[in-house]
Amino acid sequence: MLKAIIRKELLENVLSFRFPLFFIICAVLILTSLYVHQLDFGNRVRDYNEQIRLAGEELAAARPTDIHYGRVPLRGFLPPSPLAGFASGFEASLPKFYEFNAEGAKPGDTAVAEESVLSVFGKLDFLFIVQMVASLIVLLFASDMIAGEKEMGTLRAILANSAPRHTVLLGKYLGGFTAVWLPFLVVFLLGVILLGVLSFPLTQAGMPLRLALIFLASSLFLLAYFALGLLVSASSARSRTALVAILLIWIVLQMAVPRLSDMIAAIVHPIPTQTVISMQKSVVVKSIENEKARALGRQYEALFGRGTPFNTNPEPESKRAEWDSYRTETETLAAERKAAQLREIESGYQREKARQRAIAANLSLISPSAALTRLLSDICGTGEIDRGRYLDAVKAHQQTLDAALYSHVHRTTVIMPSGGTASGSSIDTMVDPKTLPAFAFRRSGVGDALAGNWGSFLSLAFWLVAPFAAAYVRFINYDVR
């Protein structure tokens, strides 16, 4: 019985306009976007290699003092992610490189800075197509399955037999979805082949697994929406009502909820802007530097007499040792204080940001599309996990450089009690730049992505099971007359 129903549903949908329509839309959109993104990836890889090469040349040609003083910055580059075509995530908005110098790590330019106003439409990647286009189409097809059959009169005919209702529903579910899933599968495979032709690193470690997971997660997502469509259909007397209901639900789930969660988080847990934070920091830095400079100035005049112009190697030599020790002590203390206070400000800010983000993330999981977004972008290495890792790597590298290089650079500014400011810099040990470690960034593994997304899994699981269960209940009582 069930098999017969599945076969009928499958055939009916395949032979109708839905099958070729869905196939064409998927094929055009997905293949085009994969193609475009792969080309873009090629460019970005070229850019990346070029940038690294240029940076290396710059470094080799630069004078070591320039490197020490930060006039020639050290750079760490973000390797482009090959899977960004599937889920672009944060890829375009992360700084392509960071510049390291004594003051800290400064982000370089990102691609987003040049976006036009229409980037508010969102990027056209595979995830987007599945979320926005495929989900809507799947919903539309499913919404017709019950109410439409009722209008045609065939539902009565089917239920006049000995097939129980739950069998009929299950048959519609499986058969109908298979009709929609097959074109999706075919297009995905075509896409993978296309990527292979375009020299996508298909055989890289973990890549086949990731691709399989991407496909699986997307299929589950579409299945969830299919179940939702069935639910709506089983709750509507006419397919016209089902249609309108579908659209409204889609708008709410796809568009309103993901943004709303963000907005609600911003309301519930507001945080200061970046400008405010950097202003706070610069106030702290200025005051500490000023204090230090004044202390140094006082000591300098005490040791070398009032009105003596500042010199990093002052006369008489006898007092130089005392001066140097005082200076080093003061500078170290000041540096520590500065670092501690800056750290406090920064970590406080990051804490608040993380809290707000967590609220938004949890709220957004209400929507299956948000769940899919997070899951896919993490699998593709362009999501929260890898972003966190990138920022952590930057921080770690800065610390390494601080310890190995910048701690040997001393910039002294003195404010003389008699008036006037002076500054000088010195390096206590010259470090060979070639011995400095290079910036290294390892992407997360598949396991990390899966482990970090249990919330998304829960959400998807909910959306798979709940609508189908609800559809079951509604269909049992559905008025087929």
Alpha-carbon span 369 to 252, nearest angstrom: 11
In the complex, minimum distance from the CB of residue 88 to another protein, in angstroms, rounded to a whole number: 7
Q: Which positions from 100 through 119 interact with another protein, judged by CB under 8 A?
A: 109-119
Alpha-carbon span 478 to 235, nearest angstrom: 8
> Which of 235, 281, 199 minimizes the C-alpha distance to 35?
199
In the complex, minimum distance from the CB of residue 468 to another protein, in angstroms, rounded to a whole number: 24
Q: How many CA atoms lie within 13 A of 96 on its CB side?
A: 15
57 is a site residue for another protein (CB under 8 A): no
Q: Which positions from 210 through 229 interact with another protein, judged by CB under 8 A?
A: none
Residue 104 three-state SS:
strand
312 is a site residue for another protein (CB under 8 A): yes
Contact window for another protein (CB under 8 A) among 129-137, 193-201, 461-469, 470-478: 129-137
Residues in the chain, how many?
481
| Residue among 311 and 328 whose Cβ is closer to another protein | 311
Output the CA torsion 367→372→374→380 (10° steps): -170
In the complex, minimum distance from the CB of residue 339 to another protein, in angstroms, rounded to a whole number: 19
**Burial level of 365, CB count in 10 A (0-12/13-18/19+)?**
buried
Q: Which helix (H) or strand (E) holds 333?
A: helix 317-364
Q: Which positions from 1 through 40 interact with another protein, judged by CB under 8 A?
A: 21, 25, 29, 33, 36
128 is a site residue for another protein (CB under 8 A): yes
Q: Could you say which of 160, 162, 203, 309 contacts another protein (CB under 8 A)?
A: 309
| Residue among 118 and 160 whose Cβ is closer to another protein | 118
383 is a site residue for another protein (CB under 8 A): yes
Give the chain's count of helices (H) and strands (E): 18, 5
Contact window for another protein (CB under 8 A) among 136-144, 171-179, 194-202, 317-325: 136-144
Q: Could you say which of 101, 239, 444, 459 contacts another protein (CB under 8 A)?
A: 239
85 is a site residue for another protein (CB under 8 A): no
Residue 309 three-state SS:
coil
Q: Which positions from 404 through 423 interact with another protein, judged by CB under 8 A?
A: 420-423
Are 129 and 372 a contacting pair, CB within 8 Å?
A: no
- x/- mask, another protein, residues 353-372, rule CB under 8 A, reads x---x--x---x-----x--
266 is a site residue for another protein (CB under 8 A): yes
Report the DSSP pairing between strands 74-77 and 97-101.
antiparallel
**Residue recorded with tokens 């290079």:** 438
318 is a site residue for another protein (CB under 8 A): no
Sheet containing strand 97-101, edge to edge, reads 74-77, 97-101, 104-107
| Residue among 112 and 403 whose Cβ is closer to another protein | 112
> Which of 394, 361, 393 minimizes the C-alpha distance to 375?
361
261 is a site residue for another protein (CB under 8 A): yes
How many angstroms separate the Cα of 127 from the Cα of each of 124, 207, 261, 460? 8, 17, 20, 15
Residue 370 three-state SS:
helix
In the complex, minimum distance from the CB of residue 125 to another protein, in angstroms, rounded to a whole number: 9
Q: Could you say which of 186, 263, 403, 473 contacts another protein (CB under 8 A)?
A: 263
Q: Could you say which of 163, 190, 192, 244 contacts another protein (CB under 8 A)?
A: 244
| Residue among 141 and 478 whose Cβ is closer to another protein | 141
Estimate the share of the chain in helix, then strand, then coil, as percent rounded to the nearest 5.
70, 5, 25
299 is a site residue for another protein (CB under 8 A): no
Q: Which positions from 157 through 196 interact with another protein, judged by CB under 8 A?
A: none
Q: Could you say which of 153, 388, 417, 424 contacts another protein (CB under 8 A)?
A: 424
Report the DSSP pairing between strands 74-77 and 409-415.
unpaired
374 is a site residue for another protein (CB under 8 A): yes
Q: Could you say which of 45, 133, 182, 207 contacts another protein (CB under 8 A)?
A: 133
333 is a site residue for another protein (CB under 8 A): no
**Burial level of 88, CB count in 10 A (0-12/13-18/19+)?**
buried
| Residue among 136 and 450 whose Cβ is closer to another protein | 136
